[in-house]
Chain A
Amino acid sequence: MHKKLPLSNVRVVEVADAWVGPVAGLLLADLGAEVIKVESPTRMDLCRGAGTPAWGTSEYPDGIPGERPWNRNSQFITANWGKYGVAIDLRIPKGLQVFKRLIKISDVFLSNFVTGVAEKLGISYEALAEVNSQIIYLSACTFGAIGPYAKRVGMGNTADAAAGLLGLRDYGDGDSTCVSYSTHTDEIGAATNAFAILAALYYRQKTGKGMYIDVSTVEASISHIGEAVMDYTMNHRIQRSLGNRAVSICPQGCYPCQGEDEWVTISISSDEEWQRFAKVMSSPTWARDERFVDVLGRLKNQDELDKLIGEWTTRHTKYDVMGLLQQEGIAAGAVLTNADVYSDLHIKERGFLETMDQPDAGRHTYPGRVWRLKEVGAPKRKPAPRFGEHNNYVLSQIIGLTSEEILELEREGIISSTPLLPSLHIE
Chain B
Amino acid sequence: MVDEQALAGLKVLDVTHYIAGPFCTKLLADYGADVIKVEKPGKGDGVRRMGPFPGDIPDPEKSGLFLYLNTNKRGITLNLKTKTGVELFKNLVKESDILVENFSPRVMPSLGLDYQTLKKVNPRLVMTSISSFGQTGPYRDCRAAEITLFALSGRMYKTGDPDREPLKYALNVYQYYGGEVASLATLAAVMGRETTGDGEYIDLSILETILGDVENQITWWDFSKEKGVRLNAKNLPLYPWGAFPTKDGFVSIQGVGRGEAWIPRLFTMIGKPELMEDPRFSTPQSRMDNIDEFNALLYSWLADHTKQEIFDEADRVRYPVAPVYSTEELVKNPHYQERDYFVEIDHPRAGKLTYPGAPFKMSRAGWAIRRPAPRLGEHNREVYCELLGYSKDDLVTLRSLDVI
Q: Given contacts A370-B212, A427-B260, are A179 and B242 in contact (CB under 8 A)?
A: yes
Between-chain CB contacts (< 8 Å), 15 pairs = A4-B192, A46-B257, A53-B259, A155-B257, A167-B250, A184-B173, A187-B214, A211-B364, A223-B359, A231-B52, A244-B147, A264-B151, A337-B157, A338-B154, A346-B137
Specify which chain A residues have a CB less than 8 angstroms from the CB of B10 in the assembled complex.
202
Report B117 CB to chain A, min CB distance, Å: 14
Contact A177 B233 (CB under 8 A): yes
Report Cα–Cα, A61/B222, bound state, in Å: 8
Return chain B residues, CB-CB under 8 Å to A421.
none
For the complex, what is the distance from the CA of A156 to the CA of B256, rounded to whole Å?
A: 10
From DSSP, what is the main secondary structure of chain B's interface residues?
mixed
What 1/0 flags go to B132-164 for Cβ under 8 Å of A?
011111110011110111111110111111001
B51 and A231 contacting across the interface, CB-CB below 8 Å: yes
Are the C-beta atoms of B147 and A163 separated by less than 8 Å? no
From A201, which residue of chain B is reached at the shortest CB distance? B191
Partner pick for B362 among A194, A213, A367, CB 8 A cutoff: A213
CB <8 Å contact, B324 and A166: yes
Give A61 to B160 CA distance when docked, in angstroms: 27
B158: chain A residues at CB < 8 Å are 180
Write the B241-271 contact mask toward A (1 if CB under 8 angstroms, else 0): 1111100001111111111110000000000
Q: Which residues 208-224 of A have a CB within 8 angstroms of B?
A: 209, 211-216, 218-220, 222-224
In the complex, which residues 235-267 of chain A have their Cβ closer than 8 Å to any Cβ of chain B?
Answer: 235-241, 243-244, 246-249, 252-256, 263-265, 267
A373 within 8 A of B: yes
Name B299-356 residues within 8 Å CB distance of A.
311, 315, 318-331, 334-336, 338-339, 341-342, 353-356
Is B79 interfacial (CB 8 A cutoff)? no
Closest B residue to A53 using CB positions: B259
Stretch of B63-71, B272-280, B387-395 on the interface side: B63-71
Beyond A154-B254, A244-B167, A341-B153, whether A230 also contacts B355 by CB under 8 A is yes
**Chain A binder among B83-91, B198-206, B396-404:** B198-206
Residues of B within 8 Å of A150, CB to CB, are 335
Bound-state CA distance A201–B191 (Å) is: 8
| In the bound complex, CA of A326 to CA of B98 (Å) | 33
The answer, among A219, A265, A267, for a CB contact under 8 Å with B339, is A219
- Among listed B36-44, B105-113, B177-185, B377-385, interface-contacting one: B177-185
Question: How many B residues have CB within 8 A of the partner chain?
Answer: 163
Q: For the complex, what is the distance from the CA of A425 to the CA of B53, rounded to whole Å?
A: 50
Cβ contact within 8 Å between A239 and B327: yes
B190 and chain A: residue at smallest CB distance = A202
* Minimal beta-carbon separation of B1 from chain A (angstroms): 13
Complex Cα gap A27–B177 (Å): 14
Is A286 part of the binding interface, using a Cβ–Cβ cutoff of 8 Å? Answer: no
Within 5-31 of B, Cβ neighbours of A (below 8 Å) are at 6-7, 9-10, 27, 31
- Is A105's CB within 8 Å of the partner chain B? no
Asked if A256 and B191 make an inter-chain contact with CB atoms under 8 angstroms apart, the answer reads no
Complex Cα distance, B325 from A202, in Å, reads: 36
Number of A-B contacts (CB under 8 A): 546
Query: A142-156: which residues lie under 8 A (CB-CB) from chain B?
Result: 142-144, 146-156
Residue among B173, B176, B214 facing the most chain A CB atoms (10 A cut-off): B214
Bound together, the chains give a CA A264 to CA B194 distance in angstroms of 46
Are B138 and A345 closer than 8 Å at their CB atoms?
A: yes
B147 and A426 within 8 A (CB): no
Contact A347 B211 (CB under 8 A): yes
Contact B167 A167 (CB under 8 A): no
- Top 10 nearest A-B pairs (CB, nearest first) are A6-B192, A230-B64, A161-B252, A168-B170, A333-B148, A426-B259, A338-B221, A176-B243, A158-B322, A58-B226
Stretch at the interface among A74-82, A93-101, A292-300: A74-82
Closest Cβ neighbor of A330 among chain B residues:
B143
Give the CA-CA distance A215 to B182 in the complex, in Å.
Answer: 19
Shortest beta-carbon distance, B103 to chain A, in Å?
Answer: 16
Contact A336 B151 (CB under 8 A): yes
- A226 on the B face (CB < 8 A): yes
Considering the chains assembled together, what is the distance between the CA atoms of A58 and B327 in angstroms? Answer: 36
1/0 contact trace for A378-414 toward B, CB 8 Å? 0000000000000000000000000000000000000
| 8 A Cβ contacts from A46-103 to B | 46, 50, 53-55, 57-63, 74-75, 77-79
Give chain A nearest CB distance to B355 CB in angstroms: 7
**Given A74-B219, A213-B361, A230-B68, are A225 and B171 neighbors across the interface (CB < 8 Å)?**
yes
